[in-house]
Structure 1
Amino acid sequence: MDVVEILFFLSLICGLLAEVKLPAGICRSQIVKGKLVQVGDCEIDDGSDILKLIQKSLDEKKKAEIKCDVTYKTKCFRIVVYDTRNVTFNDAQPICKSMNNGKLANIYDLAHYQSLRTYLRSLIPASSTYKAIWTGMQYKNNQLLLSSGEPTSIATEVWYPGYPKSDASWTNVGVDVNKDPEFSRQGMFNEQPSYSLHGIICEI
């Protein structure tokens, strides 16, 4: 078999391989180097395939960009802290929403509270001794509520000394964390929504 015959057979085999198709009715679409590549039975040409692929690509990119400050029971939490106390409860909600449509966070139990508190303590600058931030929880009718309105209980030792207050207008719940973990005057507290704190905890 000479070189010409070998080349002929190789080109024949390559041609046959190029003709291999997916089973009838199946279309595989993917983006390769920024271009839509379709293999198989791809008769629909209304642009819907490429729109779905672009949306999927954007969703995956957005998911990859989400960074969690604290992860607890598969939930992702971000903590936003400012130098000054300039965040009312009403200011807090749009800040969370801007982070991948997040919401003000709940604190689900003692272990969750401790992990959030540890991370928040790491954000306190040398020039400050504490930070106080909003959660999405509420305190109404002498009961601690999740953002959904469901009642919840959490260990009484997490409350700031002298809290919770029974004043009906003190409906929103925050967390005060001191740089010194042994300092007694820190913990969860309830306050009026117009009160200004350093930041917020968001659940993404």
Structure 2
Amino acid sequence: MYFGELIYLITLICGLFAQKLPAGSCVSTIKNGKLVQVGNCQKNDGSEIARLIKKSLDEKKHIQTECGVVYNSKCYRAIAYKIDNVTLKDAELICKSLNYGKPANIYDLTHYNLLHTYLLSVVPAGLLGTDVFTGMQYKNNQLLLINGEAVTLPPEVWYPDNPKSHVTHTSIGIVVNKDPDNKLQGVFTGTPSWPEFGVVCEI
């Protein structure tokens, strides 16, 4: 008697499940790296799993390349955390994960102003400001882009008493503060191993 009731229950559940899918439909998902299909799935040529993988990659790419700033046809996106635990090496890895981006350059005053405004929008909740790495360097009293080309930025964008000509202060970061009257913000020279709150990436 018990066995008969169990068979009836299984049949009932299977029947209800089958009724959820319209006739001829196929639902495909990827679970634990394997293609799982339910319903009337006729294709066995691998095209369905290829479609799902492409869809997943396209969605990931769209999320990862959402730009905070677009300048001269380049995409910039910042990642900022609540604690300062990002070294320059970490910053490079973070940017690489965003479609092989890299810590950003700052090309001129207009670009700096766009980045400054954008960075204010990514300050973590509960903080009044943040500081992030760029990919630029300061060596031999010169501000250098990632490719080694020298550039200049006007004095008003620099953090007070910066740039600092010290042998260890070779990395370049940006400090922003939600209080526009706070003078302690701007571009600064720092140490690559000294942790900041995040990074602005050029993708």
Q: When the two structures are superposed, what TM-score results if normalisation uses the length of structure 2? A: 0.70
Q: Rate the CA distance shift 1:57–1:122 in 2: closer, same or farther, 3 A.
A: closer
After TM superposition, give the deviation of residue 56 of structure 1 in Å: 8.5
* Amino acid of the structure 1 residue aligned with 2:88: F
Is 2:80–2:124's contact at 8 Å kept on the other side of the alignment? Answer: no
**Structure 2 match to 1:42:** none
How many angstroms does 1:123 deviate by? 2.1
Question: CA offsets, 1:71-127, max 9 Å, x none?
Answer: 111110110000001001111111110111111100111111111111111222452
* Distance change >3 Å, CA 55–CA 150, structure 1 → 2: farther
Superposed counterparts of 1:155-194, under 5 Å: 155-194=154-193
1:85 aligns with 2:81: no
Provide the secondary structure at the position in 2 that maps to 1:137: strand
**Runs of at least 5 residues in structure 2 that lack an aligned partner in the other structure:** 1-42, 44-50
Q: Does 1:146 align with 2:145?
A: yes
Aligned to 2:201: 202
TM-score by length of 1: 0.69
Aligned residues: CA RMSD: 2.8
User: Structure 1: 5+ residue runs without aligned partners?
Assistant: 1-34, 36-52
Question: What letter corresponds to residue 109 of structure 1 in structure 2?
Answer: D
Distance 1:74 1:91, change over 3 A: same
Q: Distance in 2 between matches of 1:141 and 1:55?
A: 48
Residue 64 of structure 1: CA displacement?
3.7
**Counterpart of 1:97?**
96
Aligned residue pairs total 161
The residue number in structure 2 matching 1:18 is none
Please give the alpha-carbon distance, in whole angstroms, between the structure 2 residues aligned to 1:126 and 1:94.
24
